[in-house]
Amino acid sequence: MTLPDPVTPPTKHEVEHLFGQCLLRFQAFEFLMKSIVARHRVSGSKTTKPEDALTRRASETRRKTMGFLVNDMMGSVLVPAGQEGLPDTTEAASVSSFAFVSQISFPPEEFAKIEAEHRGLLMLRNSLVHNFLVEHDLRSEAGCLVAGKTLTAAIDRVIANSGLGQLPFVLRAIRFPLTWNQFVRPT
């Protein structure tokens, strides 16, 4: 993403527009993580319908913050090679049960890189949401220029490192259909 004209500093309105675009990219990334986390593991007893288990997981996942989602992704969905498989916290062993887990394993170095990038995106998002106005003076041209560059770099980083460019592929790869409505509270 580029600023409209590198010679003319962006106006406060243009910075606000970029801020909105940036937050929308982060929300799309968060939705992608919710979709993956909700679908990657399904379990229940012999009386549980798989559809009910999926609905329960979607409901639990809907309430999670981006920080919790990143924690769920790392080590549960995305795992270092050799740590694949179901955790010990499936349904009680004395009851007939089912469990399905979908994971992607990476060599330890690659996993560490992916985890660091996800945590970095989380820190960037939190910084923008909680500290942007403190860190950027939108009353001056110089402040707007710095803010515009910061937001442009953030948008580029989210697109490059969040998998948003691969969203259709990822959602098709996960076979259980969930919709946006399962993550949004009815009004």
The tens digit of pLDDT for each residue in 35-75 reads: 888 888 888 888 888 888 888 888 889 999 999 999 988 88
**pLDDT for position 15:** 94
More confident residue, 172 or 104: 104
Contacts of 169 (CB under 8 A, 6+ apart): none
Strand-pair partners of 42: 100
Residue 35 tokens read as 């979709």
Give the global pTM: 0.76
Q: Please check the confidence at residue 180 and state whether its pLDDT lies above 60.
A: no
**pLDDT for position 101:** 83
- DSSP-derived 3-state class of residue 12: helix
**pLDDT for position 75:** 83
**pLDDT for position 182:** 42
More confident residue, 25 or 45: 25
Q: For residue 181, what pLDDT band results from cuts at 50, 70 and 90? A: very low
Distances (CA, A) of 98 to 41, 42, 60: 11, 8, 19
Burial state string for 155-183 with b = 16 or more CB within 10 A and e = fewer than 16: bebbeebbbbeeeeeeeeeeebebeeebb
Torsion 61-66-67-69 (CA) sign: positive
The tens digit of pLDDT for each residue in 105-153 reads: 889 998 898 899 889 999 999 999 999 999 999 999 999 999 999 999 9
**pLDDT for position 7:** 58
Q: How far apart are CA 111 and CA 117, in angstroms?
A: 10
**pLDDT for position 5:** 53
- DSSP-derived 3-state class of residue 132: helix
Q: Please check the confidence at residue 168 and state whether its pLDDT lies above 50.
A: no
Helix axes 108-135, 66-73, angle to 10 degrees: 170
